[in-house]
């Protein structure tokens, strides 16, 4: 393991999360990289880290703690390294397995449509997993919120996130429009701004498998 990423020394008072025998192994003092984020992200992080640390302290009575390790992306990375998403940051996320980030800006006029989507694609984080559960005492607009206990699995890198789109008036858009009109639509006239939302079968299958595997391990019903 490297001693530093982005010129920032790896904390010596923490340990990396390991993976062995098909199981995640979390030490008492895991090193977790964080990206502070842009805009409100900086303020959100300052408040959030206090909540995280307090929750861990209360849950484990001081026997466990998170060792935070800052890495960079977004405006802060651009200012320090002239790079919106340094490779060192990606490498650190891979090395330590678990990380957290604040909201990141979308660079204007420069090769990356969205840093958030780019991170998902580079790291192949193909499934967005959203647990939905009601906690007694919290306000709710539904009649029986206590019955709500579901986990949603959503495509995270393909479909609209693939960024397959062409602006109206460009040669690429004209070429595709010509193909659609001549070969596919047969006589209809198509002249839109074009975007393609597709998810190849192998990507759809692994997303479905992720949800199915969770449901079988959790002994819950899986519904499409």
The pTM score is 0.76
Burial of 12 per CB tally in 10 Å (0-12, 13-18, 19+):
exposed
| The predicted structure's pLDDT at residue 205 | 83
Compute the average pLDDT of residues 24-35: 97
Token pair listed for 13: 């008072």
Give pLDDT tens digits for 177-195: 777 777 777 665 655 555 5
Compute the average pLDDT of residues 145-162: 81
88 touches 71 (CB < 8 A)? yes
| The predicted structure's pLDDT at residue 25 | 95
Q: Exposure pattern of 166-180 as b/e (b: 16+ CB <10 Å)?
A: beeeeeebeeebeeb
Domains of the chain (ranges plus CATH)?
A: 1-125 (3.40.718.10)
Nearest to 67 by CA among 54, 55, 77, 53: 53
Nearest to 200 by CA among 208, 210, 192: 208
Token pair listed for 116: 């958030």
| pLDDT higher than 80, residue 96 | yes
């Amino acid at each position: 393991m490297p001693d530093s990423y982005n010129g920032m020394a790896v904390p010596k008072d923490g340990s990396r999360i390991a993976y062995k025998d098909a199981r995640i192994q979390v030490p008492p003092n895991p090193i977790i990289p964080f990206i502070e984020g842009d805009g409100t992200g900086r303020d959100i992080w300052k408040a959030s880290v206090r909540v995280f640390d307090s929750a861990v302290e209360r849950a484990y009575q001081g026997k466990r703690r998170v060792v935070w390790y800052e890495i960079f992306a977004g405006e802060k990375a651009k200012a320090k390294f002239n790079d919106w998403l340094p490779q060192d940051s990606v490498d650190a996320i891979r090395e330590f397995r678990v990380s957290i980030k604040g909201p990141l800006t979308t660079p204007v006029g420069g090769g990356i449509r969205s840093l958030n989507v780019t991170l998902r694609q580079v790291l192949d984080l193909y499934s967005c997993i959203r647990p939905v559960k009601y906690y007694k005492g919290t306000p709710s607009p539904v009649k029986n919120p206590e019955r709500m206990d579901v986990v949603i699995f959503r495509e995270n890198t393909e479909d609209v996130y693939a960024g397959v789109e062409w602006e109206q008036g460009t040669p690429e858009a004209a070429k595709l429009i010509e193909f659609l009109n001549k070969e596919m639509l047969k006589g209809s006239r198509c002249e839109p701004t074009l975007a393609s939302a597709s998810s190849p079968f192998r990507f759809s299958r692994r997303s479905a498998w992720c949800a199915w595997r969770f449901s079988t391990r959790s002994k819950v019903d899986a519904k499409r």
